[in-house]
Structure 1
Amino acid sequence: MSDWMTRKRMLILLTLAISGVMTAVAVSSLFVARQASPYLYDDIQALPGNKVGIVLGTSRYTSEGNLNGHYRRRLEAVTALVRAHKIKYVLVSGDNGTRWYDEPTRMKRDLVRMGISPDIIYRDYAGFRTLDSIIRAKKVFGLENFTVITQRFHNERALFLARAHGISAIGFNARGTLVQTDFSNRIREALARVLAIIETYILGTGAQVLGPEIVIGDTPPT
């Protein structure tokens, strides 16, 4: 076989492989979105009430040093739900992987500044990933149903994971979307959905860290 024919065959195989990966990513994203869709709410009046709302963590600042709009809008959504009596307690779940990075404490402080009582805010220090936050809500905080608070693109994946793990969660969509030009985060979210499906149906991945049970409402917040 000539070098030209070999190169042509390799190019065809590479093209097919790339097309296959892109198709798998697109199908996975659509599947996750459709599984979550019946349990997502944009209208605060239509949202059913729950005892606990879980706000998923993110950095307060962008890589450029600006205030992260997704962070601010999640906390705004939390305050709106508390004031509308749609949730009674708040669980702030995020990454506290080092002593210098503590998403839950940062979120709690900012919520208190926004008028939310510290007596209703609980912190989950081991919400390293969305999967951890969801599973720990059930296995550590004893929640069989709750309201997840984050942007829709994130809520779709969170609700997919919750429902796949037998949790009757619903989601309230904070304002904000992934803009078309934000390629890095759009790719990251698309790949995260593929990983969510693999970890759910193939690997059976659980939370990295569990711990003693904390009963929200009975145990004082830390």
Structure 2
Amino acid sequence: MTHKSHILIKRITLSLVAFLLLVIIFTVFANVKVERAAAGKIYTSVDSVPHNKVALLLGTNPLNKWGRPNSYFTNRIKTASELYKAGKVDYIIASGDNHTKDYDEPTAMRDSLMAHGVPEDRIILDFAGFRTLDSVVRAKEIFGCDSLTIISQADHNARALYLAEANGIEAVAVSAPLRAGRWVRTRLAIREWLARDKMMLDIWFGKQPHFLGERIEIPDVMPQKSYATVEGMTMRIVSPDLVKTPVDSMIVEFTNSRDADLTTGEWYRIDTKSDEGSWIQAPYSKKYLDLLAKGTEVCFNGIGYSLKPDGSFRMTVKPWLYDLSDKSATYRLVKTFSYPPYPIQKSDTAYVEFQIR
């Protein structure tokens, strides 16, 4: 070997060592930044997650390479449906890859979410979530989300949270279970470290999603909807602003815009909307059923409150008779009003629809 060849090999070796050292330093830097950004923002229990209007469900293949159900997919779906049913999110963006007509992650996520009890009108499909960067940036730029609850596995969540922070999104994440052996976990960790390197470079060089487009507005959760069997009589829930479980009490305001006196009592009923869209009485609570089993009767005063024309009054309703634990349901409070003189000859009914978070 000539002296020049020896020097060339030495330079190449030193260059490779320097490059490898640079990659290691950059990888450590990227991972430290990501872990710091995610600190305190990743939850493993649905119960402790704060409420957000929208969840971002990050896509993956519903099947593994052997053609069997992918546990990453099924666990993300299960976590997302639990979040919705617990009232922690109002909508779920199913964001995934749909680069060919034969590969469609968002539709697969929608179908699986619906099978787990999430209503179709609460699922928003994002067919251009080709990468995590695309999904997060599009959540803000297309769907107008300034806050999010991200759903994936833990390591992936940390990277998504960093992307959210870099794009001005207040985000938390819920980690779906990861069931994998030591070798698979090691391989995934290495893959994630390299993905964080690429993400950091994408941010530095201003990488944008493959597709953006027109803004799509996500509506607010259904506001209270008041109506009655006659014009000029309204009922609304004035407190709490957001009905949450367990429902201890609700302050209800009645307004009479008619030219006749109205009277009402303590009686009320709560209905729930069935899957077919019809109204049925909500199930009774365990407390009420236990009282009935003991032979205890619960009575209401039939008449007790008078409402003059152009007047209003408030009363407290304690809906403990009914089981209102289904946070994905729509309920309505039902109150009957009568017209003096007595004996009562005519009555009408007021309704207010609400949801529980």
> 1:74 matched to which residue of 2?
76
> 1:94 matched to which residue of 2?
96
Shift of 1:175: 1.1
**Residues 128-207 of structure 1 correspond to what in structure 2 (within 5 A)?**
128-176=130-178, 179-182=181-184, 184-200=187-203, 202-207=204-209
SS in 2 for 1:122: strand
Is the CA contact (8 Å cut-off) linking 1:89 and 1:217 kept in structure 2? no
> 1:113 matched to which residue of 2?
115
User: Which amino acid in 2 is paired with 1:47?
Assistant: V
Between the aligned partners of 2:28 and 2:179, the Cα distance in structure 1 is 18
Shift of 1:47: 1.0
SS in 2 for 1:142: coil
Shift of 1:10: 3.2
User: Which amino acid in 1 is paired with 2:213?
Assistant: G
Shift of 1:64: 2.5
Q: Which runs of 5+ in 1 are unaligned?
A: none
SS in 2 for 1:108: helix
Q: Larger helix proportion, structure 1 or 2?
A: 1
> 1:211 matched to which residue of 2?
213
SS in 2 for 1:181: helix
Is the CA contact (8 Å cut-off) linking 1:139 and 1:210 kept in structure 2? yes
Between the aligned partners of 1:147 and 1:193, the Cα distance in structure 2 is 20
- Bigger-Rg structure (1/2): 2
Is the CA contact (8 Å cut-off) linking 1:78 and 1:149 kept in structure 2? yes
* TM-align CA RMSD: 2.0
Between the aligned partners of 1:84 and 1:107, the Cα distance in structure 2 is 19
Bigger shift: 186-195 or 85-94? 186-195
Shift of 1:5: 5.2
Q: Which runs of 5+ in 2 are unaligned?
A: 221-357
Shift of 1:45: 2.1
> 2:251 matched to which residue of 1?
none
Shift of 1:14: 2.1
> 1:27 matched to which residue of 2?
29
* 1:35-80 deviation digits (Å, cap 9, x = unpaired): 1223221222221001111100000112232321111100010111
Between the aligned partners of 2:25 and 2:70, the Cα distance in structure 1 is 31
Alignment TM-score, normalising by the size of structure 2? 0.57
Bigger shift: 152-161 or 28-37? 28-37
Shift of 1:124: 0.6
Does residue 43 of the first structure (1) align with residue 54 of the second (2)?
Answer: no
Alignment TM-score, normalising by the size of structure 1? 0.90
Shift of 1:178: 6.6
Is the CA contact (8 Å cut-off) linking 1:159 and 1:169 kept in structure 2? yes
C-alpha change, 1:155 and 1:177, in structure 2 (3 Å) is farther
Between the aligned partners of 1:138 and 1:179, the Cα distance in structure 2 is 36
Structure 1 stretches of 4+ moved >3 Å:
2-10, 177-180, 183-187
Q: Larger strand proportion, structure 1 or 2?
A: 2
Between the aligned partners of 1:177 and 1:160, the Cα distance in structure 2 is 24
> 2:66 matched to which residue of 1?
64
Between the aligned partners of 1:185 and 1:65, the Cα distance in structure 2 is 20
C-alpha change, 1:214 and 1:51, in structure 2 (3 Å) is same
The structure showing larger relative contact order (alpha-carbon pairs under 8 Å, at least 6 residues apart) is 1
SS in 1 for 2:183: coil
Query: Given the alignment, which residue of 104, 109, 112 partners 2:106?
Result: 104
